[in-house]
Structure 1
Amino acid sequence: MKTIVYAHPWDGSYNHAILTSITENLETKREPFQVIDLYKDGFNPVFSAEELKYFHKGETPDQLVKDYQKKLSQSTELIFIFPVWWWDLPAILKGFIDKVMLRGFAFLEDKNTGALKGLLTNIKKTTVISTSTTDKDYIESEGGNAIQSVFINRTLADLGLKNEDTKWIHFSRVNLTTDEKRKVFLNEISQSI
């Protein structure tokens, strides 16, 4: 089962066009998929004091988090769609990682070394699709590259989503490009998923 984690608040965005293109193609091919739409679901990325009481036990009182964990447990492929804001993931997506990827569900920690062992090994392929108003090369060279170096190579890998099974596809200059280039990308991205 493919699971799409979508993180953009506006239905008129290019990110939403990417989501629509992919889901329509999957429906046409009759491939099973599910969407985690963080904004539409009203996901709260901020930990409350009550939630933190459970965090170190790998538990949560948040039913939406439990629902997301169930969806991830059913997944064999994960697709993230989000804009790059301030060189990084949107806060809601960072909060999704913080609150959903709990000890015992997404990872175990070695008590002696602190090393993490990822548990999301049911997910065999991960695709990260991002957009920004700047070039991917600039994102990669400036600010330590929060997407590739931190999100993909560190966070996702620590959850068991290995780098060799993860692909990052970025649409640059989303605000300055032509409608024709946008259409070509939508067609290419929907065919590659």
Structure 2
Amino acid sequence: MKTIIYAHPYEGSLNHAILTRLTDYFTQTDQAYQVIDLYQDDFNPRFSKEELRLFSRGETPYQLVKHYQQLISQSTELIFITPIWWHQLPAELKGFFDKVMLKGFAYEEAPEWQGRLTYIQKATVITTATLTKSYLKIESGDPIQKNLINRVFTDIGIDPKHTNWIHLGEANTTTDAVRQQFLTDLPQLYLHGQD
């Protein structure tokens, strides 16, 4: 089962077009998927006092977090669709990692750190930004490849060798033709990666 984690509030956005293109492709090719829509679910990325009280035990009172954990546990593949704002992930997606990837579910600390999501065989991150991929890597601290894929994914047990980062930079200033070509090419980028 593929689980798409989608982090954009606007249905008229390029990110929503990416979601639609990918889900249409999966439907047409009979590939099972489910969608976690953080904004539609009104996911709260902020920790409450009660959540922080339970955090060190790997517990949560937030039923939506438990639901997300259940969906992920049924998955062999994760796909993230998100913009990059101010050189970083949106708060909803950062909060998703903070609140869903809990000890006992996504990792263990003792006797040594071990990621538990080793059953995730593939992970794809699809991003849009005003910045190019090379700028994000060189000037913005490499928020996706270095911080998310090589660090966070590794910590929760997802092998970076089985990941793919697809990016459309200058998304706000490029032409409609370029955006449309990106959407047209998306299934092949998903299957084979992006240089």
* Aligned positions of 1:96-135 closer than 5 A: 96-111=96-111, 116-135=113-132
Name which of 176, 182, 185 aligns with 2:182: 185
Distance 2:104 2:153 in 1: 16
C-alpha deviation, 1:190, in angstroms: 2.8
Secondary structure of the structure 2 residue equivalent to 1:122: coil
Query: What whole-Å deviation, never above 9, does each CA across 1:77-130 have from its counterpart, x for those lacking one?
Result: 10000001111111110000000000000001135xxx5211001110000000
Q: Where do 5+ consecutive residues of structure 1 fail to align?
A: none
Distance 2:176 2:43 in 1: 32
* Aligned positions of 1:27-106 closer than 5 A: 27-106=27-106
Distance 1:121 1:136 in 2: 27
* Aligned positions of 1:119-158 closer than 5 A: 119-158=116-155
Count of residues paired in the alignment: 190
Secondary structure of the structure 2 residue equivalent to 1:60: coil
C-alpha deviation, 1:31, in angstroms: 1.1
TM-score calculated relative to the size of structure 2: 0.94
Using the aligned pairs only, state the percent identity: 55
Correspondence 1:174 to 2:176:
no
Q: Where do 5+ consecutive residues of structure 2 fail to align?
A: none
Distance 1:163 1:190 in 2: 20
C-alpha deviation, 1:30, in angstroms: 1.6
Higher relative contact order (CA 8 A, sep 6+): 1
Query: What whole-Å deviation, never above 9, does each CA across 1:8-57 have from its counterpart, x for those lacking one?
Result: 01111100000000001111112110000000000000000011111111
Distance 2:185 2:63 in 1: 36
Query: What whole-Å deviation, never above 9, does each CA across 1:147-192 have from its counterpart, x for those lacking one?
Result: 1111111011111111101111110110111111111111211343
Distance 1:85 1:75 in 2: 28
Q: Match of 2:20? A: 20
